[in-house]
Amino acid sequence: MASSMSDQQFIKSFTIFLILGVILTLFLIAMGIVNAGTITQRVQDERNALAATGSTNTLAPVGQMNVGTVSAPAAQPVQVAAASIDGAQVYQGACMACHAAGIAGAPRTGDKAAWAERIAQGADTLYTHAIGGFQGKAGVMPAKGGNAALSDDEVKAAVDHMVAQSQ
């Protein structure tokens, strides 16, 4: 049986094969240990470096996707432009009580005769009298029609509305 391996030969080859396998395994394990050591060392170094920079965020991601800044809308003071104030609405809320019917000597809105002379004083005077109050011959115009919560611009818008209705 020259062509087939003898048992002895087989055992010999198998033993060599086994030994080689063990050596290879040991080699790989050793490599692994060395590598692991290196990696551990690298992580340690990195941490130390981070600590040295004073950064406390050691868990910060290496990269960050920038999806644009979402800035919270800055708190802006509510500015009501004079143009956006509804003079008619202010008038209805604060001025109509006296000026619609002409109560207590108030010039009635729409009464052109009653308003002609007042309008002739100029808008600034009307504004001043409406905002600051006004004691005239006919009666007392309370400051802002008695509604102190109104802004000057709101009162002006109401005056504009009244004047527009009365000329």
Interface positions with ligand HEC (CB under 6 A):
94-95, 97-99, 103-107, 118, 121, 125-126, 129-130, 134, 136-142, 144-146, 150, 155, 158-159, 162
Nearest to 98, CA basis, from 108, 90, 89, 110 = 108
CB-wise, 50 or 92, nearer to ligand HEC? Answer: 92
**65 or 149: whose CB is closer to ligand HEC?**
149
Q: Nearest-CA neighbor of 139 among 112, 108, 161, 166?
A: 108
Shorter beta-carbon distance to ligand HEC: residue 50 or 127: 127
State which residue, 52 or 149, has the beta carbon closest to ligand HEC: 149
User: Least Å distance between CB 76 and ligand HEC?
Assistant: 27
- If the CB atoms of residues 50 and 100 are measured against ligand HEC, the closer one turns out to be 100
Calculate Rg over the CA atoms of the chain.
47
Q: What is the DSSP letter of 95?
A: I
Angstrom CA distances, 53 to 46, 48, 49, 58, 132, stand at 11, 9, 6, 11, 63
Q: Which amino acid type is present at position 41?
A: Q
Q: Find the shortest distance in angstroms from Cβ 134 to ligand HEC.
A: 5
3-state helix, strand, coil in the chain (%, to 5): 60, 0, 35
CB of 78 to ligand HEC, least distance (A): 20
- Note whether 14 and 7 are within 8 A (CB): no
Q: Which residue is nearest to ligand HEC (CB)?
A: 136
Give the angle subtended at the CA of 84 by the CAs of 80 and 89, to the nearest 5°. Answer: 105
CB of 56 to ligand HEC, least distance (A): 59
Shortest distance (Å) from residue 91 CB to ligand HEC? 6
